[in-house]
Amino acid sequence: MPETAPVETVELSNCDREQIQFLGHVQPYGCLIAVGEDWSVGHVSANIGEMLGLDVEATIGARFPELFPREVVHYLRGRIQMLGQDTGAARIYGLDLFEDGRLFDLSVHMSGPGYLFEFEPKSTRAMHDEMSLVQPLLARVRRRREIPAMAREAARAMRAMTGFDRVMIYQFQPDDSGRVIAEAAAPGMTPFLDLRFPASDIPRQARALYLRNPIRLIKDVDAEPQPILPPQTPEGAPLDLSLSVTRAVSPIHLEYLRNMGVAASMSVSILREGKLWGLIACHNNTPHYIDYEKRSAVELFTQLFAYEIAAVETETERRQTLQARQLHAGLVEQMADPVAISRNFDAIAQAIGEVIPFDGIAIWIGDRFHAQGSTPTYEEFMGLLRHLHGVAAGRVHETDRLIDSYPEADGFVERAAGLLSLPISRGPRDYIVLFRREQVQQVTWAGDPNKPAQPGPNGLRLTPRKSFAAWTETVRNQSVPWSDSEIAAAETIRITLLEVVLKIADDSIAERKRAQERQELLIAELNHRVRNILNLVRGLVSQSGSNVTSVEDYGRILDGRIDALARAHDQLTGTEWQAASLRELIETEATAFVATGADRVRIKGADVLLSPEAFSTLALVMHEMVTNAAKYGALKQPHGRVEVMLSRHEDGALGIEWRERGGAAVKAPKGRGFGTTVIERAIPFELGGAAELRFALAGTEASFKVPARFVTSAPERAAPAAGATERAAPEELPIRLSGRALIVEDNMIIAMDGADILTELGCDDVATASGVGEALRLIEDGAFDIALLDVNLGHETSVPVAEALQARGVPFLLATGYGETAGISEAYPGAVILKKPFTKRTVQASFAALLREGAAG
């Protein structure tokens, strides 16, 4: 018979072997110049003529400093001076590269002994600060303390930042497949939430690049990539583009995206402890570009999001490790020999179950077998024991699919599909084994994960599947996976029990020392990780959390302090940032925070005007004094009162005397919280004045001195003008909103906060629009019950929206960040005006006033 030619096997490894960092092209939204150690140009992308106006042939071999103005080259040398191999890139935004007004974003990183420069024309000259969005968006994520909720908020934030049609948070599973745990998508798009993507969708070399280069933008999947010239170095090697930001994309991946109907994409790595925890995947139905500066902000947001995830996961691990340590102490006290382990088996099982959930537990010690719960039988365990001798000698061993490594488990897989074994002797002899039952799962994949093993248009390799419709698979023979924190706790328990066993062994001292060292190492590692997380978030947590007992208290205190500054800011802007009234400041604080006792705060003496820098400081101090009086002091009691005496010293300095009377007997606090620190130190530190806080038995007293340079005399207070249209909403009204709401607001963060507030107040659905045109389209498409309109939308006002709502009888609030509201009142006589920054309390009160007025009319 004639010999048959061998057929090459098409496997997943064909995709894995594609060296995507050596593709030799860049995407056309940027261009590239690579220089050697002597700063001579070795490589360029073919589009430098179109993008930079440089001749390709003349540039190759030329000296880089001769291509650009001298000052620009000097600046670039300074920026890259500290770069090292694999230390990332120097990022430069809006550089006038040729000193002719054309602006470029640059990325520069080391490539071998030389440097690789990448240029992207600046897409806009508008003034913007992309980094300023990161902290407000991250604050929204940080409010949630469970990972699914954090991921949902992060997806919303990323879509708002980038404008992509779809943003998914994609978490890797133990088998390297990925699951979409959160999604934010444009209306009408097919949801991918909770779908699984097989591990083969992201080849190994792509995962490795995600670790080194965490963000990748594909502006247009159909754009023609630009070749790098020459394609190879003199030594015959291609240019390494591992850290390149404009590197072209694998044709296989482009085909994959086209099959999904995606025209542009961006992916950002979510890393934890140097490993790929997941990805933020962004898709767009049309070509979509975001500039390098915004991509850098996106990268920073993702890094901080990863820190928040790590903090939550580390806290869970910390609790489990603490429980394991407590278990350790209890077991060591109760047991003096190995016999005690079997004698106290029920107690051990109960204690371990409080740390590591299981369905069954078995112990093999001293050739004796004990079992409890859902476990193999004695005969089945004997066969399993031989298997454990081969895989679990001296260490914890875990699996959620025992049948894969031990086929004989087929006979008891319903009772014990997964196991976690703890060797508790020096050799492979004695074990405690935890079992989990089979958990039959319905896993929904984004398309059939079994790609057809056929040659495709890109050669003999797997062709990306063309269908991503939900495809459900029933998964059997598998238990709930053992988490990393459970495995770490098992190791701590193992060490504890090993210590008990070794107490009577000849070499127990040395072995126990090793076990103790291992435990100390685990504890030290935990402490190190917790300290790292705390250090990372320390700058994000203010001292406002001192002495509070709940998250609600913390939020209320922090919100109050921010609100105090906001009210102070309103008073300052109302006077065009000139000196403002101290009396009005104190009255505002009393009215805002002591609604039922504001008339019991009596101010004596002539009013003064404080300069802006002093006004902000006094706003915080007075806020702390009023809130302390309401919470602990005179204003807490129905007959208590506060007297504030204002006087001028001979040198012109302002004296403020605070006296509380009629409250409970005062006791000095044991410690100094942040509020006390503000009272005692703010004026001396910020203004060079003096402050003294006294806890007299009859009531708290304080004396303050503000230097004369911050104080001027105030004119006599005029009576309020008749017919003033701006009205303060009631402090608290029991109102619950309902129906559909519209928010028109050009600031993304404020719009998202407003939507959350209206949802919390009862609205069934909240739509947002950033401009007049979008708002009018929403009004035409559906009815609204209430609306919240920002008066000034940057380049336009919300007047047409207000007119459209008024014509339909829809009640609306007008929000403004400006202190002066007379112009608004003229345009809308009788309108309820909501000042920014608004809170849930002020929104609720303002809508109560608005709806009450509508009902009366």
Greater pLDDT, 64 or 130: 64
Pull the structure tokens for residue 853.
């007025």
Q: In which band, very low, low, confident or very high, does the pLDDT at 4 lie, cut at 50, 70 and 90?
A: very low
SS3 537: helix
The arithmetic mean of pLDDT across residues 29-50, rounded, is 95
Q: How many angstroms separate the CA atoms of 561 and 677, rounded?
A: 14
Contacts of 490 (CB under 8 A, 6+ apart): 356, 396, 398, 420, 422, 434, 482
CATH fit for domain 20-121, picks 3.60.20.30, 3.40.50.300, 3.40.50.2000, 3.30.450.20: 3.30.450.20
Taking only the tens place, the pLDDT of each residue in 545-564 is: 555 566 666 666 556 555 55
- For position 505, what pLDDT does the model report? 45
- For position 619, what pLDDT does the model report? 83
DSSP string, 477-527: S--PPPPHHHHHHHHHHHHHHHHHHGGGSTTHHHHHHHHHHHHHHHHHHHH
> Which run of H or E residues covers position 94?
strand 90-96
3-state secondary structure 122-147: CCCCCCCCHHHHHHHHHHHHHCCCCH
Q: In which band, very low, low, confident or very high, does the pLDDT at 749 lie, cut at 50, 70 and 90?
A: confident
Range in 88-92, 122-126, 799-803 the model is least confident about = 122-126
CATH topology identical between 130-303 and 740-856: no
Can you tell me which residue has the tokens 């390297």?
176
Taking only the tens place, the pLDDT of each residue in 631-661 is: 788 888 878 889 999 999 999 999 999 999 8
Q: 207, 20 in Cβ contact below 8 A?
A: no
> Which run of H or E residues covers position 269?
strand 264-272
Q: In which band, very low, low, confident or very high, does the pLDDT at 719 lie, cut at 50, 70 and 90?
A: very low
Q: In which band, very low, low, confident or very high, does the pLDDT at 615 lie, cut at 50, 70 and 90?
A: confident
Residue 481 preceded by cis peptide, ω within 30? no
CA 381 from chain centre, in angstroms, equals 46
Q: 511, 502 in Cβ contact below 8 A?
A: yes
Between the alpha carbon of residue 350 and those of residues 355, 356, 372, 440, 485, the distances in Å are: 9, 10, 10, 26, 19
Can you tell me which residue has the tokens 């979409």?
180
Burial 309-331 (b: 16+ CB within 10 A, else e): bbbebbeebbebbebbbebbeeb
CA 832 from chain centre, in angstroms, equals 35
Q: How many angstroms separate the CA atoms of 43 and 231, rounded?
A: 8
Question: Radius of gyration over alpha carbons of the chain, in Å?
Answer: 34
Contacts of 26 (CB under 8 A, 6+ apart): 32, 45, 47, 118, 225, 226, 228, 241, 244, 246, 247, 248
- For position 692, what pLDDT does the model report? 94
Q: Does the CA dihedral 612-128-796-792 come out positive or negative?
A: negative
Mean per-residue pLDDT over the chain, rounded: 79
Q: How many angstroms separate the CA atoms of 556 and 621, rounded?
A: 17
Burial 42-71 (b: 16+ CB within 10 A, else e): bbbbbbbbebbebeeeebbebebbebbeee
SS3 762: coil
Between the alpha carbon of residue 471 and those of residues 195, 421, 438, 449, 609, the distances in Å are: 9, 35, 22, 8, 70
CA atoms within 13 Å, Cβ hemisphere of 173: 17
Greater pLDDT, 357 or 427: 357
CATH class held by domain 130-303 = alpha beta
Q: In which band, very low, low, confident or very high, does the pLDDT at 531 lie, cut at 50, 70 and 90?
A: very low
> Which run of H or E residues covers position 181?
strand 178-185
CATH architecture of 740-856: 3-Layer(aba) Sandwich (3.40)
SS3 40: strand
Contacts of 146 (CB under 8 A, 6+ apart): 312
Q: How many angstroms separate the CA atoms of 409 and 407, rounded?
A: 5
> Which run of H or E residues covers position 354?
helix 345-355
- For position 342, what pLDDT does the model report? 67
Q: 489, 480 in Cβ contact below 8 A?
A: no
Q: 166, 185 in Cβ contact below 8 A?
A: yes
Domain extents for the chain? 20-121, 130-303, 335-438+476-527, 563-713, 740-856
Q: 157, 290 in Cβ contact below 8 A?
A: no
CATH class held by domain 563-713 = alpha beta
Of 616, 628, 632, the C-alpha closest to 590 is 628
Q: In which band, very low, low, confident or very high, does the pLDDT at 511 lie, cut at 50, 70 and 90?
A: low
Q: In which band, very low, low, confident or very high, does the pLDDT at 696 lie, cut at 50, 70 and 90?
A: confident
Can you tell me which residue has the tokens 């004990």?
370
- For position 490, what pLDDT does the model report? 85
Q: In which band, very low, low, confident or very high, does the pLDDT at 629 lie, cut at 50, 70 and 90?
A: confident
- For position 592, what pLDDT does the model report? 60
- For position 378, what pLDDT does the model report? 92
Pull the structure tokens for residue 131.
């980094």
* Homologous superfamily, domain 335-438+476-527: PHY domain (3.30.450.270)
Between the alpha carbon of residue 288 and those of residues 84, 261, 720, the distances in Å are: 32, 14, 54
Taking only the tens place, the pLDDT of each residue in 257-269 is: 888 889 999 999 9
Can you tell me which residue has the tokens 């309109």?
789
In degrees, rounded to 5, the angle at the alpha carbon of residue 297 between the alpha carbons of residues 292 and 299 is 90
Q: State residue 657 phi and psi, 5-degree precision.
A: -115, 125
For residue 499, pLDDT beyond 80:
no
DSSP summary character for residue 184: E
Greater pLDDT, 263 or 499: 263
Q: 42, 228 in Cβ contact below 8 A?
A: no
Q: 43, 33 in Cβ contact below 8 A?
A: yes
Residue 357 preceded by cis peptide, ω within 30? no
Contacts of 561 (CB under 8 A, 6+ apart): 544, 620, 623
Contacts of 413 (CB under 8 A, 6+ apart): 402, 403, 438, 476, 477
Contacts of 777 (CB under 8 A, 6+ apart): none
